[in-house]
Amino acid sequence: MANLRAIGVDPGLAKTGYGVIEIVDKRGVVRAWDCLSTNPKDSTPQRLQTIFLDLKKILQKWDVQLLILEDVFVLPRFPKAALQLGAVRGIVALAAAYNNLEVMELKPTEIKAALTGNGRAHKNQVSKAVQKILGIKETITSEHASDALALALVGLSRAHAVHW
């Protein structure tokens, strides 16, 4: 049987970040990270289809067993953003169901607290913690990919598969 692999997904209509971490000897090893981008000129249904098809390929390529999805955080003054995020989250959940994956949802404050000790930490603090814990030498230039790796790391910790 393959080692446990998890994917963290930071959903967004323009950019959906993902990060794949595999457990090897009780340590997290990064296998991939990037962003799935959609064309803003495309209709929302076309953009959702792009995310679904691209994510489906990634899930199959890496044979992940667990998907960790960021819980929705939207400011009340941006209701359209909440609807878009909900649609993307639905597509991510559909891709997970299509691949028979367990889905774990984590709040941004949980991630920040687990990695930095501060539930209100800035994104750069979280990114630095992720790089340090996973031994990533290069800078993770996409906040979405960094957040996705953070999700995968904390999700695996919650599943008692990895400790740092």
Helix, strand, coil share of the chain (percent; to 5): 45, 25, 30
Of 105, 144, 160, 163, the catalytic one is 144
Of 63, 70, 71, 105, the catalytic one is 70
Q: Report CA torsion sign: 91, 83, 127, 23.
A: negative
Q: Active site includes 163?
A: no
* Cβ atoms of 158 and 106 closer than 8 Å: yes
Nearest one of 100, 115, 120 to 158, comparing CA atoms: 115
Q: What is the DSSP letter of 2?
A: P
Q: Active site includes 70?
A: yes
Q: Active site includes 160?
A: no
> Looking at the annotation, which residues are catalytic?
10, 70, 144
